[in-house]
Homo-oligomer: A and B are copies of this chain.
Amino acid sequence: MSNISLSKCGIQRKPFILVPLLFLSYFFHFGFCQDLMAGTPDSEYDEKALNTHRLDNLNLLLYTFLLILTVVTIWMFKHRRLRFLHETGLAVIYGLVVGAIIRYTGPTPEVRVLPVVPSLGTHYNHSVPPDVLWLQLSKRIIERSSKTSATYLNNHTFVYTFKGEIDNTSLNEIDQKATFDPEVFFNLLLPPIIFHAAYSLKRKYFFKNLGAIFTFAFVGTTVTAFVTGSLIWGFIQIFPYLAKDFSFLDTLYFGAVISATDPVTILAIFSELHVDVNLYALVFGESVLNDAIAIVLTRAIQSYAEKYNPNHGGFEMVAFFQAVGEFLLIFTSSLVLGSTLGIATALLTKFTRIRDFPLLETCLFVLMSYTTFLIAEATDLTGIVSVLFCGMCQAHYTFNNLSDDSRVRTKSLFELLNFLAENFIFSYIGVSMFTFPKHHFDVAFICIAFIAVALGRAANIYPLSFLLNFGRKPKISRNFQHVLFFSGLRGAMAFALAIRNTMSKARQTFLTTTSLIVIGSVIFVGGSVTPLLSCFGIPVGVDEDPDHAALPGTPHRTYGSILQQTPGENTIDGTVTEPTRSSTQSEKSWLARIWGGFDTKYMKPLLTHSKPTLIDTLPPCCLPVARMLTTSEQLHLGNGGQGHSDSDIELCIDDTDSVRSGPRAFASTQPGFQRVYFVNDRKMAMDDEDRHLFYPIVSPEALTGDSLGKQLPGSSV
C-alpha cells in the first residue's frame, strides 16, 4: 500500500482553505517554522518531518470533516424523512463543493523543485523511467548559493523515488498532485466494502435467484462491457480528433471499467421502502458479483492488449484466447483461494476453542479475511473476488462457530468500515473532480459515454431477462426489468479502476468520464428511484416473511441493526409461525437445489456445529473419519429448533442461526435455551429454568427512522 500519499502534494499545497475549519489554528500556532532554517541538520529534518506531518493531517482532517458533515446531514435527512438524496449523493456533493473551494481559493505554498539530468557518463538502457534517483549536489551549485548552512548539503547523497510523469513543467501541474494513491482504494477501502456485501448477503434469496443473478453478473457484465466499448468506439469515429486518441482496445477497457454497478444507493432505498425481496436479491446479487467480473474483465483486456502485437494489426486469435483463458483461470483461482481461506477459518473456529477469547477470535476472523485479499493480490489473482467468496464462506460457515460476542463484533465492525469506506470514496470522487491533476475533460467523449453506458446496460437487462423468463417460475416482469435497468448506478469500483492508471491522455479521459458518470448516476438516478418505483408500480412495504408482520413496528432491515430478524421462529404471542412455503422446490434454481443438498449433507456438518453430523451423512465406511470431524458440541446439541430440513432455511444462516446458535454456544455450560421470543425490539431465548438470553437487535428509537414507523413524541431536535 505504498504511499498512502495524502502526501507531500495534496491539500497541503492549499492548506489555508482549511482555516475556516481550524480557527483554533491561529491561537495555537506557535510559529515553529519561521526562524529555524539556520539550525542544525537534525532540527531541520525534525522540522521537515513536522511539516509533512502537519500537512498530511490537514489532508486527513478535510476528509474526516467531510465525513462528519455527511453523517450529521444524513441523520437530519433521516430524522426529517427526506429521501430525495442518499448519503452517497450527499458525500459526493459535499466533496464537489470542498474540492471547488480548494481549487479556486487559497495560496500555494512553495515546493522546492530542482530540474536534474543524469550525471556524466551514466548509461541508462531501460524502457521505463528509473525507480530511484540519487542526487549529489555539486560544490559548484552550493557555493553559488548565498546561505552558509547550505554547505551541509555537500557530500550527502539524497534519495528520490518515482512519483509519476508531468505533461508540462509548470508549477501548477504538480501543485495538486498526490491527494491519494490509488492503491489506497484497492488495498484499504474496497476490501471491507466487498467483504461486508458478501457477509451481509441474504443468502436465502440469493440462492433462490442464483440462476438469474449469475446470468446478469457473468453474461450481462461481459455484454455490457463489450457493447459499451463498441458503441463508444463507433461513435468516436465521427470525431477524428478523438478517434486518433483511442484504440478499440482502449474503449473496450473503458467498457469493462464502467461495467461494475454499485448497489449502495439503490439498495439503501430499497431497504427503507421494503421493496420486493426477489428484486432486492437480483439487484444486490448482480452488483456484488459484477464488481468481481468487471475487475477480472479489465485485467483480461489489459492482458490482451499486452500480448497484442500492433505490427500484425487486426484481431489476434491467440492473444484473445489467452486473455479468455486468463480471465477464467484468474476468476476461478481467486474463487478457490477465497473459499479455501474461508473454510480454513471455519475449521479453525470449529475445532479450536478460540471462541473462549472473543477478542482473539474476532482478530483472527478479521486477519484471515484480510489475508485472503492480500494473498490473492500478491499472487496476481484478484483480491476482490477472493474476499467476496471468502466473505460468503465466513457468513455461511464460520459465523456459526463464532461466539456471540464475535458475531456482534464482526458484524458491527464491517458495517462501520463499510459505511466509512464508502462515504470516503464518494467524498473523494467529489473532491478529486477539482483537485486531482490528471483529469481530461472532453465534452464529446463524455456525452458519447453517457449514451453508450445506458445502451450497454439495456443490452444486458432486457435481452437476458427475456431469455431468463423462459426458465424462471416467477418471471421477471417488465417493470422489474425497468428497475433493474435503472439500478445500474456506477460507484466506488468503477472509480477505483479508472483512477488506478492515469498516465496517458486516454486514461485521463476515462477517469474524468467515469467520475462524472458516477456523480451523475448517484445524484440523479439515486434521487429519482423513489418516484420511479411508484411510477413502475413496484410494490413497496413488502415484508420479507409474513411472520414479520407479527412483530408490530419492527423494521426488518433497519439502518444500523447488528443482527437481522429471524424468520420461522416463535413470535411474541407464543404461536409458532411456520416459515413460508411460498419458496417451493419448483421455484428454486436447480443450481441452488444441488448445492443446498450437498451443503446440508457434507459442508455444514464438516464446517459448523450443525446437525445432522457427518456421522449421519457419510457412508458407513467413513465412520472413523466422520467421528474425528464431529465435535462433542455437535453430538450433545439438543434437537430443539434444529429440525428444519428445508435447505432454503439452511441456506439462510443469517436469519436462522443467529438465535439458534445461542444454545449452541452455551451448550457446554448451560442448559440449552429452547424457546425464542421477540420482545419488542429484542430477541430472547428462554431456557428450562426460565433464564433469558437477549440480543439487542435495534434500539426502539430506530423506529423513528423506519419508513413504516411513526414519529415518536418527545424526540428533541
Contacts and interface: CB of A to CB of B under 8 A. Distances in A.
A50 B531 CA distance: 43
Contacts of A351: 716-717
A49 B355 contact: no
Interface stretch (A233-241, A377-385, A578-586, A616-624): A377-385
Given A692-B679, A701-B355, A704-B353, A146 B158 contact: no
Contacts of A177: 159
A677 to B, nearest CB: 10
Contacts of A135: 116-118, 129-130, 133
A114 B160 CA distance: 10
A242 B5 CA distance: 37
Interface stretch (A73-81, A475-483, A520-528): A73-81
Interface in A674-700: 679-680, 682, 684, 691-696, 698-700
A429 B696 CA distance: 40
A40 B507 CA distance: 13
A701 B669 contact: yes
A113 B126 contact: no
A230 interface: no
B366 A416 contact: yes
A504 interface: yes
A131 B147 contact: no
A259 to B, nearest CB: 18
A498 to B, nearest CB: 13
Q: Nearest 3 CB-CB pairs, A to B?
A: A694-B694, A125-B145, A359-B560
Contact of A136 (B117, B167, B182): B117
A696 B5 CA distance: 41
Q: How large is the interface on A (under 10, 10 to 19, 20 to 34, 35 or more residues)?
A: 35 or more
20 contacts: A3-B4, A39-B306, A49-B501, A57-B377, A57-B378, A58-B378, A61-B375, A79-B356, A115-B136, A118-B135, A127-B153, A132-B174, A160-B163, A353-B701, A353-B704, A356-B704, A408-B412, A670-B680, A679-B692, A694-B694
Interface in A1-53: 1-9, 18, 22, 24-25, 27-30, 32, 36-50, 52-53
B118 A122 contact: no
A408 B127 CA distance: 55
Nearest to A354: B75
Given A30-B326, A378-B25, A501 B45 contact: yes
Contact of A134 (B116, B127, B383, B715): B116
Given A158-B162, A366-B416, A716-B351, A115 B125 contact: no
B43 A306 contact: yes
A41 B503 contact: yes
Interface in A616-652: 631-633, 636
B68 A374 contact: no
Given A61-B378, A71-B367, A111 B133 contact: no
Given A127-B152, A356-B704, A377-B54, A714 B668 contact: yes
Contacts of A113: 130-134
A105 interface: no
B56 A127 contact: no
B141 A114 contact: no
B71 A364 contact: yes
Question: Which has the most chain B C-beta neighbours within 10 Å: A361, A405, A670?
Answer: A405
A42 B504 contact: yes
B56 A405 contact: no
Interface in A92-130: 111-120, 122-130
B8 A131 contact: yes
Contacts of A32: 303, 306, 380
A707 to B, nearest CB: 13
B115 A119 contact: yes
**Residue from A53, A166, A679, A715 with most neighbouring chain B CB atoms (10 Å):** A53
A593 interface: no
B559 A357 contact: yes
A303 B680 CA distance: 60
A268 to B, nearest CB: 11
A302 interface: yes
B166 A141 contact: no
A321 to B, nearest CB: 14
A124 B114 contact: yes
Contact of A118 (B114, B159, B633): B114
A656 interface: no
Contact of A379 (B25, B159, B360, B715): B25
A318 interface: no
B500 A49 contact: yes
A374 B61 contact: yes
A565 to B, nearest CB: 15
A665 interface: yes
Contacts of A699: 355-356, 358, 403-405, 665-666
A620 B166 CA distance: 69
Contacts of A380: 28-30, 32, 50, 54
A138 interface: yes
Given A137-B118, A412-B408, A68 B367 contact: yes
A577 interface: no
A183 interface: yes
Given A127-B153, A360-B560, A692-B692, 8 more contacts: A2-B8, A37-B127, A39-B306, A57-B187, A114-B134, A157-B167, A157-B168, A684-B694
User: In this complex, which of A48, A132, A136, A174 has the most chain B Cβ atoms within 10 angstroms of its Cβ?
Assistant: A132
A363 interface: yes
A609 to B, nearest CB: 11
